[in-house]
């Protein structure tokens, strides 16, 4: 019997497992498994989405002109260098499609975002990892991992799931150490949450080089994960390449309308950031107080590790949290089996997590 022949690499893909969202029998569910926004979408975005309902028969604007204008005005960027996609996942996948293929290597750091190896394998390329130091991207290790076959280097900054970041000068050192034919992709999905002085989202590196792309998303601080909307910022020659491979109407009209309204509602974005600025350190502090190891995350989530807690490992902690209706993310798929990733939710949700883990560890008074 013959069967359709699958392209090389595709059957090596371990399908992406999304954060769980349901627990049978739980009266109340607290979902902290996908780094969604604690405060939901901007009311302006919801109104813009509702307004589209009467014109669903119309194709969307294939150029995303108003959305690109809204992004460009908000971040003071050149709209011609923006390419929009159905989530930054699509931008990542288009980049791999356009710049890598069988025999090529796609390099990323050890605990980097899982869509990099998935998108690399989907085009027959070989994903290669470089070790991290202290759960943080290591520029020297990445540079040492470059071979003649390397075509793309992905760096999530800050990284998911570790939440750690490297400084603007370290990113610049990475770019300077790469050959000109190697594309550096800076995935800044969590950039809006970062307020450290030595952090940069990657815009300046895009402006200064012919081979750097920055990717961004509407799924995190803008609370539009359900819309599927992301964008990349890149030199015009690279934008021209991605426009050739993307679908002509790859971003829905609803996503474009909601995204433009969300990015213009800077007061709402500031509120979400302030919320995170309060509850991220609070959560980290309480977890450390429980004797757990927590990375210095600058995103809207924490990575908490249970090594050294015999009988109280990550699997048991996850099961205990689930018993309290709390869904977090197991990290075995990222090579961190003893860690859990917990999204920063509302005040009540974070207090519930800390209370639950305190009872799990027998540390509540
Ligand atoms: C580092 C990183 N990049 C990209 C994405 C994909 O985001 P999107 O929803 O825009 O596809 C995520 C989502 O979790 C992420 O954590």
pLDDT tens-digit readout, 306-360: 987 778 899 999 999 999 999 999 999 899 999 999 999 999 999 999 999 999 9
- The full set of domain ranges for the chain reads 10-31+267-360, 43-264
User: What separation in Å is there between the alpha carbon of 248 and the centre of ligand 1?
Assistant: 22
What average pLDDT score do residues 149-158 get? 98
**What b/e readout covers 273-312, taking b as 16+ CB neighbours within 10 angstroms?**
bebbeebbeebbebbeebebbbbbbbbbbbbbbbeebeeb
Residue 36 in contact with ligand 1 by CB distance below 6 A = no
Q: Whose CA is nearest to atom 12 of ligand 1?
A: 189
Tokens representing residue 186 in the block: 């800076």
79 and 103 in contact (C-beta within 8 Å)?
Answer: no
Residues constituting the chain = 365
Least confident interval from 10-19, 28-37, 97-106: 10-19
What would the pLDDT profile of 134-150 be if each residue is shown by its tens digit? 999 999 999 999 999 99
- Reported as a pLDDT band with limits 50, 70 and 90, residue 232 is very high
Please write the tens of the pLDDT for every residue from 261-276: 999 999 999 999 999 9
* CB of 87 shorter than 6 A to ligand 1: yes
Using the predicted structure, report yes or no on whether residue 8 has a pLDDT greater than 90: no
Question: Is the CB of 217 within 6 Å of ligand 1?
Answer: yes
Distance 246 CA to ligand 1 centre (A): 18
Neighbour-count burial for 221-242, b at 16+ CB within 10 Å, e otherwise: bbbbbebbbbbbbbbeebbebb
Residue whose CA lies nearest to ligand 1 atom number 2: 189
Provide the CB-side half-sphere exposure for 228 (13 A, CA).
9
Burial class (CB in 10 A: 0-12, 13-18, 19+), 29: middle
Quick: pLDDT tens for 281-317. 999 999 999 999 999 999 999 999 998 777 889 999 9
Mutation test residue for ligand 1: of 41, 87, 166, 229, the one with most atoms within 8 Å of CB? 87
Atom number, ligand 1, closest to the C-alpha of residue 161: 16
User: Does residue 22 surpass a pLDDT of 90?
Assistant: no
Tens of pLDDT, residue by residue over 239-269, are 999 999 999 999 999 999 999 999 999 999 9
Residue nearest to atom 8 of ligand 1 (CA): 87
Closest by CA position to 114, among listed 288, 337, 351, 331: 331
Determine the pLDDT at residue 24: 80
How far apart are the CA of 245 and the centre of ligand 1, in A?
Answer: 20
On the question of pLDDT at 222 being above 70, the answer is: yes
The alpha carbon of 42 is separated from its chain's Cα centroid by a whole number of angstroms, namely 20
What is the rounded CA–CA span in Å between residue 160 and residue 301?
A: 9
pLDDT of 233 over the 90 cut: yes
63, two tokens: 């150029």
Q: State which CATH number among 3.40.718.10, 3.90.870.10, 2.60.120.10, 3.40.640.10 fits the domain covering 43-264.
A: 3.40.640.10
The minimum-distance atom of ligand 1 relative to the CA of 229 is 10
C-alpha distances out from residue 250 to 20, 94, 111, 136, 292, Å: 26, 11, 29, 33, 43
Rounded to an integer, what distance in angstroms lies between the CA atom of residue 37 and that of residue 305?
23
Which CATH number among 3.90.1150.10, 3.40.720.10, 3.10.450.50, 3.50.50.60 corresponds to the domain 10-31+267-360?
Answer: 3.90.1150.10
Residue 76 burial (C-beta neighbours within 10 Å; 0-12, 13-18, 19+): exposed
Residue 33 pLDDT exceeds 70: yes
Contact 56, 320 (CB under 8 A): no
pLDDT confidence of residue 365: 61
Ligand 1 centroid – CA 88 distance (Å): 6
CA-closest residue to ligand 1 atom 3: 189
Would you say 52 and 253 are in contact if contact means Cβ atoms under 8 Å apart?
A: yes
The total of other beta-carbon atoms located within 10 Å of residue 72's CB is 17
Is any ligand 1 atom within 6 A of the Cβ of residue 109? no
* Mean pLDDT rounded to a whole number for the chain: 96
pLDDT digits (tens, 9 = 90+) for 165-218: 999 999 999 999 999 999 999 999 999 999 999 999 999 999 999 999 999 999
Calculate how far, in angstroms, residue 343's C-alpha sits from the geometric centre of ligand 1: 14
Residue 16 has pLDDT above 70, yes or no: yes
Output the pLDDT for position 169. 98
Instruction: Give the pLDDT mean for 19-36.
Output: 87
Residues 6+ apart with CB under 8 A from 359: 320
Measured CA to CA, the distance from residue 271 to residue 80 in angstroms comes to: 29
């Amino acid at each position: 019997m013959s069967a359709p022949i699958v392209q090389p690499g595709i059957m090596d893909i371990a399908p992406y497992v999304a954060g769980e969202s349901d627990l049978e029998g739980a009266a109340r569910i607290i979902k902290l498994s996908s780094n969604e926004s604690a405060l939901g979408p901007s009311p302006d975005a919801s109104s813009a989405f509702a307004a589209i309902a009467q014109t669903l028969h119309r194709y969307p604007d294939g150029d995303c002109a108003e959305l690109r204008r809204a992004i460009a005005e908000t971040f003071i960027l050149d709209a011609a260098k923006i390419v929009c996609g159905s989530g930054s996942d699509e931008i990542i996948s288009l980049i791999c499609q356009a710049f890598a293929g069988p025999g090529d290597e796609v390099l990323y750091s050890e605990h980097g975002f899982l869509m990099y190896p998935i998108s690399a394998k989907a085009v027959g390329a070989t994903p290669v990892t470089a070790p991290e130091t202290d759960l943080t991207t290591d520029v020297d290790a990445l540079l040492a991992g470059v071979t003649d076959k390397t075509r793309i280097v992905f760096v999530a900054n800050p990284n998911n799931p570790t939440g750690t970041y490297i400084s603007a000068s370290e990113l610049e050192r990475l770019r300077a150490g790469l050959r000109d034919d190697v594309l550096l992709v800076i995935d800044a999905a969590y950039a809006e949450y970062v307020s450290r002085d030595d952090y940069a989202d990657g815009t300046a590196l895009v402006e200064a080089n012919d081979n750097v792309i920055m990717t961004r998303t509407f799924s995190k601080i803008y609370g539009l994960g359900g819309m599927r909307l992301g964008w990349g910022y890149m030199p015009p020659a690279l934008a021209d390449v991605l426009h050739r491979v993307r679908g002509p109407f790859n971003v829905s009209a609803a996503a474009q309308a909601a995204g433009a309204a969300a990015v213009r509602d800077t007061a709402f974005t500031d509120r979400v950031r302030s919320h995170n600025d309060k509850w991220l350190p609070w959560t980290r502090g309480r977890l450390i107080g429980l004797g757990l190891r927590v990375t210095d995350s600058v995103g809207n989530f924490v990575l908490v590790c249970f090594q050294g807690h015999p009988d109280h490992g990550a699997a048991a902690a996850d099961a205990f949290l689930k018993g309290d209706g709390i869904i977090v993310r197991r990290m075995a798929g990222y090579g961190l089996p003893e860690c859990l990733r917990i999204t920063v939710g509302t005040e009540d949700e974070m207090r519930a997590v800390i209370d639950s883990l305190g009872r799990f560890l027998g540390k509540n008074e």
